[in-house]
Structure 1
Amino acid sequence: MYIPRQYIIDENNRRIGVQLDIDTFERIEEVLENHGLMLLMQVAADDESVELEEAKALYRAHQD
């Protein structure tokens, strides 16, 4: 996945930061959220069952 970026440099031309456009940032954010959801689903698959409210609470807790 190509990630367009612009570097922020200091007075010695050392890279100290990176700037992404909002579309790229949102795509990265979505990928990370989906990965976290997949991990939660794998953990839940090992359990016998998870009540709906408990699953919602787990999902909300892992969004931050």
Structure 2
Amino acid sequence: MLEIHKKILVDENQQPVAVQIPFDEFQRIEQIMENFGLAKLMDETEHDERLSGDAAREYYELLKANDVEG
């Protein structure tokens, strides 16, 4: 289990408003979240149609072109 060294920041009424953690721990949390998201996406698309390498590259280029226009 990942140990998180957190500092809880409170307002003038002693109500929690933010959490401060070391940057390296934040990076590990971020990596865990990205891995979880990728695994979830892989599970969700397990039965989707698979593209050949050339078709995948063409589709990717189309997505990039649409992103630039949009």
RMSD between aligned alpha carbons? 2.0
Paired-residue identity, %: 34
Structure 1 runs (4+) deviating above 3 angstroms are 50-55
Q: Kindly state the Cα deviation for residue 32 of structure 1 after the two structures are TM-superposed.
A: 0.5
Higher RCO, Cα 8 Å, sep 6+: 1
Distance 1:5 1:23 in 2: 12
Gaps of 5+ in 1: 58-64
Distance 1:33 1:2 in 2: 18
**What corresponds to 1:43 in structure 2?**
44
Larger radius of gyration: 2
TM-score between both structures, scaled by the size of structure 2? 0.64
Give yes or no for contact 1:9–1:16 (8 Å, CA) kept in 2. Answer: yes
Q: Kindly state the Cα deviation for residue 15 of structure 1 after the two structures are TM-superposed.
A: 1.2
Distance 2:39 2:18 in 1: 30
6-15 vs 26-35, which moves further: 6-15
Q: Kindly state the Cα deviation for residue 50 of structure 1 after the two structures are TM-superposed.
A: 4.0
TM-score between both structures, scaled by the size of structure 1? 0.69
**What corresponds to 1:62 in structure 2?**
none
